[in-house]
Amino acid sequence: MIDIAQVRRDTPGCETFIHFDNAGASPMPDPVFRAVTDHMAAERALGGYEAERRAQPALECLYTGLAELLNAAPDEIAYAENATRAWNMAVYALPWAEGDRVIVHGSEYASNMLAFLHLERRHGITIDIAPSDGTGQIDVDALERMITAKTKLISLVHVPTQGGLVNPAAAVGDAARRHGVTYALDACQSVGQMAVDVGKIGCDILTCTGRKYLRGPRGTGFLYIRRDLANRLDPPFIDLHAANWSAERSFDIAPAARRFENYESNVAGRIGLARAVAYARKVGIASIEARIESLAQELRQTLNAIRGVTLQDLGARTCGIVTFTIDQVDPIAVRDVLFQKGISTSVSLVNHARLDLGRRETGPVLRASVHYFNTEGEIERFGAAVARIALNTSTQTENLSS
Ligand SMILES: *Cc1c(COP(=O)(O)O)cnc(C)c1O
């Protein structure tokens, strides 16, 4: 059981604000905030290098903590300034050649798809799009039939940014393993929200950001990469941290995941991310997962009961991300009105999810994403605010805020 009063005390913003954009950037709990600001204070007092040396144990915790969280080894973890760069470092390191194929799904993240389009233009690779099953999640049987000798990578988003579905990541892992295809899982919205075990899932690459369900600082992220794959890959670029200049004309690339890191980074951010991982594990991932699921179901029921509101989530299994539209109302205007009322939400745009929102012709959708520190009372207040907007617009389409 989560001590809700305690986690809310650790999240002082809760007193005055309803945080329903945890899939965008969840507020840092106080221990994370303090880890960051304490390190900044140490840098001010001692200088950056001295503060970093003194913080070595805290920095090591990032690797050991993430390894334990994901069931990986510490040398299979690389820190990155965000999830996209972590993903790019691994995916651009694969030895792409003309005619190679990648399989993606409709839930693919915009930056990942942009990278594949870039690789298509640069190397002449082919992008295959696996269909969804009747529920909207990836159709694993169809995916398996699409695998050819030329398939170099399966890229899957565990939980898409633009909808509440949870893709069957482990079933895809089974298919990838059976066919010997490298499997990259974008777990930006799942790590910190639900149990994610790289052994059970069978992915070779996993990427995640710090600021979402893990509640770490902005500008942080990480890469998990299976050790033997990492050791075979040539990073897109290296520096004096990712490699050693061993003689005038030679160098050795660092072992395992370290080769995908770079030297200069936000040390306070790394310490904050390590603290966020520790905080999530202390709250308990299983409890977090259960509470988010129950709050999200309640939120869906609340929204479903409002006339003019349409839920937009797909999937056999859903999670803490709840997407919806309101008849005749611009989602961005709704987001802004809700913000004025002290509630954060966000909007998923069509050009951020062309294979999903674009194909479904939903237009942009509102996204409310709950975390374990949210409450039933907040859902009630949120539902009332949305109902007022929906009612206002059915009588008079202007002046949403009246
Ligand atoms: C947020 C997000 C990303 C990108 O993470 P950054 O840290 O902003 O690079 C990638 N994939 C998914 C599914 C996301 O939700």
Identity of the residue numbered 167: N
For the record, the structure tokens of 160 come out as: 């898409």
Greatest pairwise CA separation for the chain in angstroms: 76
Q: Is the CB of 189 under 6 A from ligand 1?
A: yes
221 lies in the same domain as 295: no
159 CA closest ligand 1 atom index: 13
Q: Is the CB of 26 under 6 A from ligand 1?
A: no
Q: Quick one: pLDDT band at residue 291, thresholds 50, 70, 90?
A: very high
197 lies in the same domain as 127: yes
179 lies in the same domain as 247: yes
Tell me the CA distances in angstroms from 365 to 26, 75, 91, 173, 326, one per residue in order. Answer: 19, 39, 29, 30, 9
CA distance from start to end of the chain? 40
249 lies in the same domain as 311: no
Residue 400: what pLDDT?
53
202: left (phi over 0), alpha (psi -120 to 50) or beta: left
Q: Could you read off the pLDDT of 116-133 as tens digits, one per residue?
A: 999 999 999 999 999 999
Q: What is the CATH number of the domain that holds 382?
A: 3.90.1150.10
212 CA closest ligand 1 atom index: 1
Last residue of a domain, one of 260, 282, 304: 282
83 alpha carbon to ligand 1 midpoint, in Å?
Answer: 6
210 CA closest ligand 1 atom index: 7
Mean pLDDT of 140-144: 98
Q: Is the CB of 221 under 6 A from ligand 1?
A: yes
Question: CA-based Rg of the chain, rounded to a whole angstrom?
Answer: 22
22 lies in the same domain as 169: no
Domain hosting residue 289, numbered range:
4-27+284-401
Q: Whose CA is nearest to atom 6 of ligand 1?
A: 83
Whether the CB-CB separation of 326 and 308 falls below 8 Å is answered with yes
For the record, the structure tokens of 81 come out as: 């300034």
249 alpha carbon to ligand 1 midpoint, in Å?
Answer: 38
303 lies in the same domain as 211: no
CA 34/CA 58 separation, integer angstroms: 13
158 CA closest ligand 1 atom index: 13
Dihedral pair phi/psi, residue 297, rounded to 5°: -65, -40
Q: Could you read off the pLDDT of 17-57 as tens digits, one per residue?
A: 999 999 999 999 999 999 999 999 999 999 999 999 999 99
- Evaluate if residue 269 carries a pLDDT over 50: yes
> Looking at the 3D structure of the chain, how many domains does it have?
2
Q: Is the CB of 82 under 6 A from ligand 1?
A: yes
User: pLDDT exceeding 70 applies to what percent of the chain?
Assistant: 98
217 alpha carbon to ligand 1 midpoint, in Å?
Answer: 14
Mutation test of ligand 1: which of 155, 186, 191 has the most ligand atoms closer than 8 Å to its C-beta?
186
Please tell me whether residue 103 adopts helix, strand or coil conformation: strand
255 lies in the same domain as 338: no
Arithmetic mean of pLDDT over the chain = 97
Mutation test of ligand 1: which of 138, 161, 223 has the most ligand atoms closer than 8 Å to its C-beta?
161
User: pLDDT exceeding 90 applies to what percent of the chain?
Assistant: 97
65 lies in the same domain as 196: yes
78 lies in the same domain as 123: yes
247 lies in the same domain as 316: no
Residue 399: what pLDDT?
52
Q: What is the CATH number of the domain that holds 86?
A: 3.40.640.10
283 alpha carbon to ligand 1 midpoint, in Å?
Answer: 23
161 CA closest ligand 1 atom index: 15
98 lies in the same domain as 133: yes
Please tell me the pTM assigned to this model. Answer: 0.97
Last residue of a domain, one of 282, 313, 340: 282
255 lies in the same domain as 354: no
49 alpha carbon to ligand 1 midpoint, in Å?
Answer: 30
Last residue of a domain, one of 234, 259, 282: 282
